[in-house]
A and B are shown apart, each in its own frame.
Chain A
């Protein structure tokens, strides 16, 4: 009997519980990489176009902050610049959630106690979770390398780029192993790990912005803050631009150090306890809390604040970048065309702004889905049962949640438009005017978000058990149709499935009333269907 007894059995349990999640992760990341690589390669087909892209990326501070340091004019380097940060963030979050799910969440629900009382070593649950998550990262990276090479990129660079992405996952696995020891709740553990990911994004952005440009203007050498960031390490591998293989050892070293720390913490703490003590709270409820609406606000305000901060930062950055974008499109007609396909319309700057607002609307869709699915979470927990046994009708309860999500979406959209306009106006000299114009333009996307809310509500009413998976799938489909549909030249009928397709792309085109009315009507029908189905079904079901 050692501290690791039972690890293999528990690892099999993790595999069994997550077989579908893991399959989507391990197969989905390479597929996404393949699709993105193909579309980027199509936009920058020749050396001249890539030269233009590289010099712009190296000189634009916004491009450096969001895409990382460009590593030359190889087509692979352009692909990395365009896709690395996205893929790395996806892998970082997947790894974090998976580790928390199989460690702290088990302690929180009491499952760990049941397991821990059997013939299972003290380190076995943590070790089993780490083994599976690291293995998933390695497998996803291996397939990503195959996918990139399959898309026609050089083999060495493909391996390095895939290793860079996998390295981020491995590093975050280590981070999550520690945060799972520190926080008492799985939500808190994820939030802490998410904060570490956010901090490494900021460090990397700072290091890349402060870095030096090479003599030919197509490369950036990052400053020291990037080297403190696990996200930054992936850039320092310099895939497709003279690979530095040894950098891949950094995430592995972080993992080993973090796991050692996690074991040491696990040795010193009690089962179910953490290092952050729970705070004292109010003994009586404030008057505003005492209604479904007050409760919805209380449940949502933390998430809403986080979203608001993120959107404001992104909005100002995107607005400021609009001016730099002007300079870039003069050099690259292909890129201009791609933006045009996303934003639509004649004026490229307006197309860019419209495309950014469209991106915000898609992102805020995730807020809507997450906010509304809380109802399903409450139903699964049993809280909904307690609430509905009081004198609150089902329609009022669900309606309040929908209204809260819709108001949140409204506020976030408005904020996105205002901050983008503010950033753009700061550069061009009319911050107030641009903020108002883009704020209004952003709000025209609200009907599409109402349709998203309608889809989630209908799924919750009709197919409660599948509503979580199906809601996120629907949003992912909308995302892929919106972002890649035009680039991949999908038929219009497919694109029409997404509500976002039907939003007039203001300011690139003139606003139209009819599509907004139709979208709102569809949303209303979905909401009514969902509410009616909810009123007639068993709770919990």
Chain B
């Protein structure tokens, strides 16, 4: 049974349709990346999963329960780090951690002290004097000091330095090893690449892709740079080949993975001297979904087909 399952979720705020038929499935024990441009509905989805917002229609189950009706019971089994942490200004950081942990049903004191040290956080300072990064650390320490089944992390590392980012990744691996499930919303692609088993990309309140990173890579074009003895012709006529242009006597082009064979068949006729083929980077994958309309309008068919096949 999936830990999180969302089907056709809709949420509107007045006339704005924040979620427009969103689907999401997170399996037990996986770290699931949750990606999408700003304003695409990630935080709204997470708030519905926490029972803070009420869904308009669609299905949402967390750990087999209804997040709205069973909010309190569920919250004992999950920990949450918001993207923009705000704390009680007159409590110290240590007091805020203890309070949040206790309200959730208790925390592991030894873990708490260890995490304070690892994240280099001074618990005696007042919450109002903390920078954004330090407030973020308070929420992270409070969440990771509790032993729960599900961690919901909404851009948890925004404001952390690279050293702390590494500590954070260590901690996520640790809780994963302990068998917990993680939903990780993030804009840090390196973090997603390093941690996530599977990911879902959403845009304008809908899921546009979902699958493992390898699966998603297949959906995107490979970049090919080729140097040939004679000038190459006839590439534009090939299926699945795009954006052909010459740079310093080399031919640059992009090709859909399914059409690599035809491309190579054509190229060998012109005497290949050098060839590099680069799989799509995660960044390209994102830009494709985050960015301009025309990329997705250009060739929606393979992406859609693959997505249906992905799972």
Contacts and interface: CB of A to CB of B under 8 A. Distances in A.
Partners in one complex: yes
Interface of A: 108, 184-185, 187, 278-285, 289-292, 295, 298-299, 381-383, 385-394, 536-540
12 contacts: A185-B128, A278-B128, A281-B94, A282-B92, A283-B94, A285-B91, A289-B95, A291-B102, A298-B91, A383-B88, A389-B75, A393-B71
A185 B72 contact: no
B123 A391 contact: no
A263 B76 CA distance: 52
Interface string B71-95: 1110110001010111111111011
A536 B75 CA distance: 18
A391 to B, nearest CB: 4
B86 A281 contact: no
A428 B120 CA distance: 65
Interface stretch (B50-58, B178-186, B284-292): B50-58
Contacts, number: 112
Given A285-B98, A539-B53, A386 B139 contact: yes
Interface size class of B (residues with CB under 8 A): 35 or more
A539 B54 CA distance: 9
B92 A388 contact: no
**Pairs A-B, 7 closest by C-beta atoms:** A281-B92, A285-B98, A390-B103, A290-B102, A382-B86, A285-B95, A389-B80
Interface in B115-145: 123-126, 128-129, 139
B2 interface: no
Contact of B52 (A184, A383, A538): A538
B105 interface: yes
A383 B87 contact: yes
B94 A278 contact: no
Contacts of A538: 47, 52-54
Given A281-B92, A290-B99, A391-B105, A386 B86 contact: yes
A278 B124 contact: no
B121 to A, nearest CB: 10
A540 B84 CA distance: 13
Contacts of A393: 71-72
A389 B67 CA distance: 11
A257 B75 CA distance: 56
A463 to B, nearest CB: 15
B54 A278 contact: no
A182 to B, nearest CB: 16
A290 B88 contact: no
Nearest to B85: A386
Contact of A391 (B76, B94, B97): B76
Interface string B212-244: 000000000000000000000000000000000
A391 B103 contact: yes
Interface in B36-57: 47, 50-54
Contacts of A391: 72-73, 75-76, 103-105
Contacts of B102: 285, 290-291
B63 interface: no
Contact of B123 (A278, A284, A298): A284
A299 B98 contact: no
A299 B123 contact: no
A211 B22 CA distance: 76
B99 A389 contact: no
Contacts of A385: 47, 52, 82
Which among B86, B92, B99, B123 has the greatest number of chain A C-beta atoms within 10 A?
Answer: B99
A36 B47 CA distance: 51
Contacts of B73: 391
Given A281-B124, A392-B72, A538-B52, A292 B103 contact: yes
Which among A108, A298, A386 has the greatest number of chain B C-beta atoms within 10 A?
Answer: A386
Contacts of B97: 285
A280 B125 contact: yes
Nearest to A381: B86
B303 interface: no
Given A382-B82, A391-B103, A278 B53 contact: no
A221 B86 CA distance: 54
A506 to B, nearest CB: 38
Contact of A283 (B82, B85, B123, B129): B123
Interface string B163-197: 00000000000000000000000000000000000
